[in-house]
Amino acid sequence: MARRMGQKEVRALTTLFTARSWPARIGALLVLAIAAWAWWNEGRAAPGVLAAGQSLQGTVVGIADGDTITLLDADRREYRLRLAFIDAPEKAQPYGNAAKQHLSDRVYRRTVDAEVVDVDRYRRGVALVRLDGEDINHAQVKAGLAWHYTRYADKQPRGDFDAYTAAQQAARDGRLGLWQQPGAEPPWDFRRNKRTAE
């Protein structure tokens, strides 16, 4: 819906064409520029602010990699979410693109529920994501396309921890996904080694 011009904007427009002094005209131009900026940004998706314990529902509009999505809620706010309790291969690693594609096939353009368990240093929500009740984070591990990230296991309910551990072991035993390669390098080691090499 188009935004109507307010009294302030009408006065600024009138001043722009009728004022004799340049400072008044410049002030009117500033008012109109701010109004134009506000109009331009109206209705566009604004990044959402996240907090632990927050529940979200929205459509997945972006997949960054095998464990990071962008969710757009009903109010057109965007949230960047990292899937909690897992770590998928980096894009430069073997199976990095496969992990991203698997996640995309499951949730892209679908409506999901997300429970934020933490907010990371990049201000992404660390979230448990569900599609029709299915734990998508667990599904990535079960498919052999992510590790169970036990480093932050203190925030994971014990039953879920055991289920993720069992899913990883089953994927490893079945040589699914990344477990087809001998000596698969965890992404946290890959990132550390890359930083050391730079």
Catalytic residue check, 82: yes
Catalytic residue check, 90: yes
Among the listed residues 80, 82, 106, 130, the single catalytic one is 82
Catalytic residue check, 185: no
Among the listed residues 9, 80, 106, 124, the single catalytic one is 124
Task: Tell me how far apart the terminal alpha carbons of the chain are, to the nearest angstrom.
Answer: 50
Phi, psi of 65 (to 5 degrees): -165, -165
Q: What are the beta bridge partners of residue 55? A: 115
Among the listed residues 9, 80, 90, 130, the single catalytic one is 90
Round to whole Å and give the CA distance between 66 and 81: 11
Catalytic residues: 82, 90, 124
